[in-house]
Amino acid sequence: MLHRSQVEKILDGMIDGFNSDAGELILLEEEFNLSRFAESAIQQNVSRYNRQMMVRAVKGQKVGVAVSNQLDTDGILKAIRAAEEIAGNQKPDPKFPELEKYKTVEGSKDAYHGSTAAYEPGDRAAAIERCVDRAGDRNLECSGAYQTNVKTTAIASTKGTRQFFTETEGWLNLSLSGPGKVSGWAQKYSRDVRDIDAGDVAEDAIEKASQSSQKTELPPGDYTVILSPAAVADMILFLAFLGFGAKTMVTGRSFMSGKFGEKIASDKITITEDPYHPRINYMPFDYEGVPKKKVALVENGVAKGVVYNRYYAVQMDTESTGHALQPNNSYGPYPKSMVMDAGGTTVQEMIKSTRRGIYITHWWYINFLNPMKTMVTGTSQDGTLLIENGEVTSGVEDMRMGQSILEALSNVEAVSKEQELCPKFGTLMLMPTLKINNFTFIG
């Protein structure tokens, strides 16, 4: 990986290469390492190192974007010229705001851990072996993946913006399977791999698998459910996609449109976009170099706000919250570090207070049915459990939901004290367990 001084030398040396009115360079560097395993054996080891320069050139209100993984002088200049040529061939966008200079912000030092950067394939293999051994003692097979990342993002613009951030990630996810459709799943994420105890992850998945050894088939209908943090994260990620970004607000396709200040969920629900949370430590600026802001999305059940990049902030007569994605995206601004506030109940207390309900470990393949009503469908997986009279009594054949996410959040009975980090498609969420009444399954 490049040192900060090397990155800054590259950006400072090339930023004067623009002939356009304004320009921006985004350097992305990643060292990605993965061990994937199935049938209790490692099937694949991958190590990938990549450096990429994204270039945005601005000519008046015309914008061009080019990408290159050649970071020598000729390669970067070629990308700059390509971006300028693309900009010259665009139609002017009267809504595009000029580039501005933003103050430099430093990310948390807890975002980077040398222990993760130095984690070797043998270390991942040893952790996987612990999972395999624990599962094998229960006649269960393991599959899953252990990955580590070291990522650097740096930005320079002709207006004087300079940003730099390096982070590490470790993530172990584990699925167990056995005779008679027995299955269990667990995961652990941390910036520091020393916090990931493979034995604990295995025991968590083993417990769910053992509880599902006998399976009950339930008819479609409304049930009380207890959603694990991973299952909650699956739904909140989709909720964000459906309406926590300003693009859907501007286009009138967001469930938040016209709802600010109105009750849309239980008063037990508070969701905040918080890149500075000490358990998240997300990148403190966006891909335009704008410092990120903490944004209240839902507060005590009341719709409070959405996230903005500069393009949509201007249209809504407000300021960017620092949530622009990479310049070649078409999704608009998006929250990537959401936190749902913890409650005052333990998971065991939730189970004990449930006369009849279903515990959901996580969802598979959520998709929307009605975006404006936040109606989605998806199938439970790897640890769907029946709760009767305060105890887990058996597994449940996986069930398909047909549920409005906002209606589910309006029917929350309890929120757990415990929260877990849940990585999902480039986001990192900190989520509790939820107990929800009248949750609809359609098959």
Q: What is the spatial distance between Cα 123 and Cα 8, in angstroms, rounded to a whole number?
A: 33
189 and 280, same structural domain?
no
372 and 408, same structural domain?
yes
Give the end of a domain, one of 211, 233, 256: 211
The CATH number of whichever domain residue 203 belongs to comes to 3.30.2290.10
Q: What is the mean pLDDT of residues 339-360?
A: 98
One-letter amino acid identity for 19? N
**Average per-residue pLDDT for the chain:** 97
Find all residues with CB under 8 Å of 184, minimum gap 6, and list them: 140, 175, 176, 204, 205, 206, 207, 208, 209, 210, 211, 212, 361, 382, 383
Find all residues with CB under 8 Å of 226, minimum gap 6, and list them: 347, 350, 351, 354, 357, 358, 359, 360, 387, 433, 434, 435, 436
Give the end of a domain, one of 181, 211, 241: 211
Q: What is the spatial distance between Cα 16 and Cα 157, in angstroms, rounded to a whole number?
A: 9
One-letter amino acid identity for 237? L
Strand partners, 396: 216
pLDDT at 180 over 90: no
Into how many domains does the chain fold?
2
- Are residues 292 and 282 in contact, defined by beta-carbon separation less than 8 angstroms? yes
- pTM as predicted: 0.97
Find all residues with CB under 8 Å of 104, minimum gap 6, and list them: 161, 162, 163
Tokens of 214: 């006998």
pLDDT digits (tens, 9 = 90+) for 357-409: 999 999 999 999 999 999 999 999 999 999 999 999 999 999 999 999 999 99
Q: What is the spatial distance between Cα 314 and Cα 316, in angstroms, rounded to a whole number?
A: 5
CA dihedral (293, 275, 339, 342) positive or negative: negative
- Give the per-residue pLDDT at 295: 98
Q: How confident is the model at residue 246 (pLDDT cuts 50, 70, 90)?
A: very high
**What are residue 343's phi and psi, to 5 degrees?**
-110, -150
103 and 31, same structural domain?
yes
pLDDT at 322 over 90: yes
287 and 190, same structural domain?
no
- Give the per-residue pLDDT at 99: 96
**What are residue 23's phi and psi, to 5 degrees?**
-160, 165
141 and 20, same structural domain?
yes
Q: How confident is the model at residue 21 (pLDDT cuts 50, 70, 90)?
A: very high
Tokens 């139609």 label which residue? 91
196 and 229, same structural domain?
no
Nearest to 413 by CA among 370, 367, 351: 351
- Are residues 137 and 129 in contact, defined by beta-carbon separation less than 8 angstroms? no
Q: What is the spatial distance between Cα 359 and Cα 387, in angstroms, rounded to a whole number?
A: 7
pLDDT digits (tens, 9 = 90+) for 387-400: 999 999 999 999 99
What domain range includes position 229? Answer: 215-441
CA dihedral (93, 97, 98, 99) positive or negative: negative
231 and 289, same structural domain?
yes
73 and 44, same structural domain?
yes
- Output the CA torsion 189→204→211→354 (10° steps): -70
391 and 295, same structural domain?
yes
175 and 251, same structural domain?
no
User: How many angstroms separate the most distant Cα atoms in the chain?
Assistant: 72
Helix 4-14 to helix 73-88 angle (10° resolution) is 50
Looking only at the bridges linking them, the beta strands covering 391-396 and 215-216 are parallel
pLDDT digits (tens, 9 = 90+) for 426-437: 999 999 999 999
Tokens of 274: 């918080």
Nearest to 186 by CA among 170, 206, 169: 206
Report CA-CA distances (Å) from 25 to 49, 68, 108, 132, 356: 20, 11, 23, 45, 56
185 and 298, same structural domain?
no
258 and 301, same structural domain?
yes
Give the end of a domain, one of 183, 211, 239: 211
CA–CA–CA angle 423, 425, 429 (5° rounding): 35
Tokens 């207890």 label which residue? 226
pLDDT digits (tens, 9 = 90+) for 256-280: 999 999 999 999 999 999 999 999 9
- Are residues 380 and 399 in contact, defined by beta-carbon separation less than 8 angstroms? yes
pLDDT digits (tens, 9 = 90+) for 123-156: 999 999 999 999 999 999 999 999 999 999 999 9
